[in-house]
Amino acid sequence: MDDRQRLEFTNAMVGDGLLGLPEDELLNTFCERLVAAGVPLRRAAIGNTTIHPVVHGHSFEWWRGDGTKQDPWLRATRMSDEEFDQHPFGYMYKNEVDRLRRRLDRPNAPIEFPLLERLREQGITDYLALTTHFGGEEAKGPLSGFVSSWTTDAAGGFSADHLDTIETLLPYLALGIKGTSTYRAAENALETYLGDDAGHRVLSGEIERGSTETIRAVLFYADLQGFTKIADTTPGEELILMLNQYFGCIVDSVHEHNGQVLKFVGDGLLAIFRLNEDRGVCASAIAAADAAFARVEGVNRERQGIGKPATSFHVALHLGDVMYGNIGGHDRLDFTVVGPAVNEVSRIEGMCRPLEQDVIMSTAFAQAATTCTSRIASLGRYALRGVARPQELFSLTNESDPQVAA
């Protein structure tokens, strides 16, 4: 590759990086350009960790003629220590080696890694693995860099010029990967802690204190029953596991019915279902509550089966206008909802225990839930603490209740 070709190559890779192409596309174009420049690549792979509660990282594998495929590393299915030790990248990490090359075309050469033996059986003659480090303050933990491997099936393996070309041009691929993976990690973190919509808004630049909009939404406030008593008698780690189990039931149910969980408050959570043009959000909120109760029943059977404390939760459903946006101090903000409707839904949830109801709905919600009227029954009028006028509250009957079928 002459100087002109290298300049064209690097300009193209910088352009791809500025476009923010995902890692699989970056790897694919990088490899195709190397092949077009005369580097006899057969396979290439990159792997990097990320910031995500479920996904530990990603691997991307390119084969000549087949393109690139992506494989996420789920935290629940990570490599065992033995598997990690038997992988070239694991060896490099534990021994702090940034470059590893193995010739696979020598019949009597020992192959210490099962992966390389499989590659040799597929006709690979040479293997090069590299660690690329990212500099700066962010060069810690999951965003510290990535690993890559490069193979050929050419007779005699890679030439010195081939290796020089790969290693000289790799930093241009690394710039694109760093930009894409850092943005994705930021996106994952914000969506994990703020929710999909709020996280997207913050990442798009909506971070000025006081920048809010008035939205009309269903408010879904859930609170675990009897949690204070359980917390007094349950060890800390077991208590966190319990909270995660029950919150998981509610969060999964809200998300699958297009709601947004905004925040966790102790043993409770607040979610919203935005109205927009969708007039079926009240039915969606009710369906989310039904799904959550069904999931909790399953969790309770498991917990009771092993002698662990079990509980359920209360839900308040309300509909109203709220201010949605940034509230807080000069440099510490929360993206949330505020307004009288938020206070009211909390007060309504507080009526669940004295009225012995799992779900209580406000008048505004009951009137809007026109597709669910057969399941809605009045509980009478009640004064709510901090609310000027008493209001009529409503309960939710089960779908299997005879009153519904009547």
Structural domain boundaries in the chain: 3-193, 203-405
pTM above 0.95, yes or no: no
Which of 25-34, 247-256, 383-392 is least confident? Answer: 383-392
pLDDT digits (tens, 9 = 90+) for 226-242: 988 899 988 989 999 99
pLDDT of residue 280: 87
Predicted confidence at residue 402, as pLDDT, reads 38
Look up residue 311 and give its DSSP letter.
-
Q: What pLDDT was estimated at residue 210? A: 87
Polymer length in residues for the chain: 406
Q: What is residue 277's predicted lDDT score, i.e. its pLDDT? A: 59
Q: What is the pLDDT of residues 97-117, one digit of tens each?
A: 999 999 999 877 778 899 999
304-321 tens-digit pLDDT? 999 999 999 999 999 999
Cα angle 280, 200, 251 (rounded to 5 degrees) comes to 50
Q: In the prediction, which pLDDT does 109 show?
A: 74
Q: Encode pLDDT of 164-211 as tens digits.
A: 999 999 999 999 999 999 999 999 999 999 988 999 999 999 889 988
Give Cβ neighbours of residue 78 (< 8 Å, ≥ 6 apart).
Answer: 56
Please report which confidence band the pLDDT of residue 76 belongs to, taking 50, 70 and 90 as the band edges: confident
What mean pLDDT value characterizes the chain?
91
What integer is the mean pLDDT of 206-218? 91
Q: Where residue 85 falls among pLDDT bands split at 50, 70, 90?
A: confident
- Buried (b) or exposed (e) across 76-107, using 16+ Cβ within 10 A? eeeeeeeeeeebbbbbbeeeeeeebebebbee
Residue with tokens 């060896």: 91
CA separation for the pair 218, 319 (Å, rounded): 4
Q: What local confidence, expressed as pLDDT, does residue 140 receive? A: 67
Q: What is the chain's percent helix, strand, coil content, to nearest 5?
A: 45, 25, 30
Average pLDDT over residues 25-30: 96
Q: What is the pLDDT of residue 136?
A: 65
What is the rounded average pLDDT of the residues 336-357?
A: 94
Q: Quick one: CA torsion of 130, 136, 139, 143, rounded to 10 degrees?
A: -90
- pLDDT value of residue 75: 80
User: Please, are residues 128 and 152 in contact by the beta-carbon 8 Å criterion?
Assistant: no
Is the pLDDT score of 356 beyond 70?
yes
Q: Would 3-193 and 203-405 be classified into the same CATH topology?
A: no
Give pLDDT, residue 74: 84
pLDDT for 67 beyond 70: yes
Tell me what pLDDT residue 283 has: 95
Residue 83: predicted pLDDT: 81
CATH of domain 203-405: 3.30.70.1230
- pLDDT bucket at 139, cuts 50 / 70 / 90: low
Assigned CATH for 3-193: 3.30.450.40
* Strand residue runs (E) in 275-312: none
Q: Is the pLDDT confidence value at 93 over 80?
A: yes
